[in-house]
Structures are given as C-alpha cells and as structure tokens.
Structure 1
Amino acid sequence: MTESPDEDYRRAAVDLLGAIAYGELSAFERLVEDAKMAPGIEDKIAIGAMATAEFGHLQKLVERLSELGADPAEAMQVFRPSFDSFHAYTAPSDYYEGLIKAYVGDGLAADFYREIAAYLDPETREVIISSLEDSGQTAFIVDRVKAGIAEDHRLGGRLALWGRRLMGEALTQAQRVAGDRESLTALLAGGVDRPGLDLAALGRMFTRLTERHAARMAELGLEA
C-alpha cells in the first residue's frame, strides 16, 4: 500500500527530529565526559552548563516527536549506530580537542540540520532551529582555545589539523544521515507541491557549510 504524501512528510519530519534528538543526547553525554578533562573548576562548570543546555534542547525535540505520534526513543534509536560510530572515531585526545569538536563539529552539524529544516512545516522548523541555538559556548571556547595557543604555539597547528579532520568526518556523517533514510532523501528531493534540492542546489548547500566551517576556524585563530 502506497503511503499518502502527508504520511511521507510525517515520516521525514520524525526521522529528522530523531536524528537531531539523538545528536543532542550524544552531545550531552560527550560534554559530561569532556568536563572530566577540564583543567579547573571554572572550566568544569562552563562545560557542565553547555551539557545542561543540550539536554534542554533534547526535551523540546522529544515533545515534538510525541506530538507527531512517534515514539521518541524509537525515532532516535535508528540513528544510534552511525552517531556512536562517528563519536568513537572522533574521540578527542585532550581537553582542547574536545573544545574544538564541540564548537566546530557540532556547529557544522547544526548548520546542516538548519538547511534541511527549511523544507519542514513552520512549527517543526521552529523547534529544530531553537534546539540548535548557541548554548553560550562560543565565547567560552574561543577564549580558551586562543589562550591555549598563546601559551603553546604548537597547539595551533595540531588543532588546525584536528579541525580539518572533523570537517571531513562531519560532512560524511551528514551525508550518511540524509542518504540512509529514504524519507529524508525524498524530503530533500521535493515534490509536486513543494520545492526540493537539485544537484546544483545541493552543491551550493555544501559550499555554504564549508564556508561557515572556515569562519569558525578563523574565529579560533586556526586555518581551515
């Protein structure tokens, strides 16, 4: 039996919300672990606040999933293997790498999800956009990374390489999330009643993602 366009759309919305929700959950768990590497209590408090904000975002996404008639845990579970694999492969080796991952890696993922959210209904789009808002970590991370580089100039080169690696892995992860779920692929392709992304538009989207990544790296004083 062929599903209706409305059901196709609902499935795509649920998949996207599920992906972002699991991303927020894993970000929360990762930040809790990163706080253990923080050099002092002030930094531990700041990282803890970031983790708390991520969990708050998660709750909004869970509520929207329930409103759409989905089981939040089931919607998130399908993305667990790919996200867990990504985080295991990009586990930071020290505090500074953890900060870069939180700023650059999570920032790139947020940019990608904002791009896709443009194809959703206003209510769902607003929930997603609000869940991807900066949790106040930008200024803190930029300050800490720049201070670390000022103390040890060799750190800058290592973190620049780490940022490039995160960029490649995060783009691959984003493409995998969109490509592995037929509903998301269909959402991006559009339909007779809504616009979609052709190859040229898709290329422009990934160009925008790359440019925003370069801007973040520049803000940290690192080469993209």
Structure 2
Amino acid sequence: MEPAASAAASGAASGASAAMPEAFADPQYLAAVVDLLGAIGYGQLSAFERLAEDAAMAPSIADKVAVATLAAREVNNVTRLRERLGELGADPDEAMAPFKAPLEAFHAHTKPRDWWEGLVKAFVGDALATDFYREIAAFLDVDTRELIIDTLRDTGHAEFVVDRVTTAIAADPRLGGRLALWGRRLMGEALTQAQRVAAERDALVALLSGGVDRPGMDLAAVGRMFARLTERHAQRMADLGLDS
C-alpha cells in the first residue's frame, strides 16, 4: 500500500466518523479513494497553473479576466478535495504527490505554442481527464461520487473556448488544420497517460476490478470505457469545428 493510503487506513481506523460510508471499512477501497482524490486534486492544481499561463497569452483584457476567473474556480475545487482527504485520515500532500511527475510529463510533451493551442488543450485535454475520472466515480460511494462530479463540473469554460476557437477559425481557416493536428496529439498523449496512471496505481486497478460486494470492469468493459472517451473527444473536436 502507498504511504498516503497507509496513513489514510490508519487514520480511518482510529477515528473515522460514524457517518462514514461502510465501504471505507475496506482498506483497499479507502486506498483507491485516496488515490483518486489525490489524482484529481493535483490535476486541478495543474489546471490552475496552466490557466494562469493561458491568461498571460490572452489577446484581450476580457479574455484575461475570463481565464483568470476560471483559474480561481480550480483553486476552490483543490481546497475541497484536500479537505475531503483530511477527513479520510490522509495527508493531502502525500496523496497528491504520486501524480506530480506523470502530469508534469504530460504537460511537458504538450506545451502549447500560442493562445489557440492553449485553449484547445484546456478544452480537450482537461475534458478527457474529466471523462476518465467520472467513469471511475461510478464505482464509488455516493458522497465521494458526488464530490468528484461536482468538482469536475464545467463552469463555462467549454462555452468560452468553443466561442473563441470557432470565431478564430472562421476568420482564418488555416488555423483549423493546425488545431486539428494538435487535438489528435492531445488525445494520444492523454489516453496514454490515463492508461499509465490506471495501471501503475494498484488501488485504482483493484477498484476497477471490483470486489465481493462491488461491481467491477472486465477487459471488455475497460475497452468500452476507452471507446466512450474517444467518442466524447470526437464530439468536442466537432464542437470546435475541427476534425478528430
């Protein structure tokens, strides 16, 4: 068991609230939830950092304000996830730490060259991660599932990006070809990263596999999940006026 998960199991055993869902009596389940909240928490912290960088590239003051506002919402979500980790007896920093390297590697491989690539990355890349975590959330207790879905809820970012990108492509159709290639690259990198994270975290693999009293996913179901992720990506690219 990972250090953060061990700390969570210990803390939960010694002082868990009576209202805590019964599922948390299973150390393996607790470890999986800690891993998942840690991954989402670091992902949203990273999203805040990238949105701040995007704001610096924004072509207008209105765009800077819009993106900065979205960034501020990410910080609020990180705070809520860290508070939940603390309630589970986990150290939030330790829970988030294992996801720092893989997420930073993904961002290093997909560094946008300009404002437009930054917008598409935020829309497409973050949405792929959101879809992946929502799929996993289906296997969780109600309270954890609702927290994850709420913190991953779109707060107007999609509408903002679609408006800006489609308007820009209408003015310069050549931009569409470049952004379509960029979107396909993001898809490949994001799926590779999602598969890597799922495979390297034993607790998450166990969660997806199910248990005696919990449903799970066999290989065919996992394949269908990634097919759904691909279909949603294609729809988002279409929303942007881009080929997937």
TM-score (norm 1): 0.97
For each residue in 1:73-132, what CA deviation from the matched residue of structure 2 results, as whole angstroms up to 9, or x when unmatched? 110011100011111111100000000001010001000000001111111111111010
**Does the alignment pair 1:208 with 2:228?**
yes
Percent identity (aligned): 65
Paired AA for residue 137 in structure 1: H
Query: What's the secondary structure of 2:213's corresponding residue?
Result: coil
- CA-CA distance at 1:58 after TM superposition: 1.0
**Does 1:70 find its partner at 2:106?**
no
Q: 1:199 corresponds to which residue?
A: 219
2:60 counterpart of 1:60: no
Mapped contact 1:17–1:65 kept (Cα < 8 A): yes
Query: Which blocks of at least 5 consecutive residues in structure 1 are unaligned?
Result: none
Residues 22-58 of structure 1 show CA distances to partners (whole Å, capped at 9, x for unaligned) of 0000000010011111001000001101101111111
Specify the alignment match of 1:174 in structure 2: 194
Mark the runs of 5 or more structure 2 residues left unpaired by the alignment: 2-8, 10-23
Distance 2:197 2:76 in 1: 23
Q: Does 1:131 align with 2:131?
A: no
1: distance between equivalents of 2:129 and 2:98?
Answer: 18
1:90 aligns with 2:110: yes
- Deviation of 1:5 after TM superposition, in Å, equals 6.7
The Cα shift of 1:72 comes to 0.4
Structure 1 CA distance for aligned equivalents of residues 69 and 193 of structure 2? 26
In 2, the alpha carbon distance for the partners of 1:132 and 1:175 equals 20
Q: Is the 8 A contact 1:12 1:184 kept in 2?
A: yes
Q: How far apart, CA to CA, are the structure 2 residues paired with 1:74 and 1:139?
A: 35
- Corresponding pairs, count: 223
TM-score, length-scaled by structure 2: 0.89
- Report the aligned-residue RMSD: 1.4
Query: Distance in 2 between the 1:84 and 1:105 partners?
Result: 13
1:150 Cα deviation after fit: 1.2
Which ranges of 4 or more aligned residues in structure 1 deviate by more than 3 Å?
none
Q: Which has the higher contact order (CA 8 A, sep 6+)?
A: 1
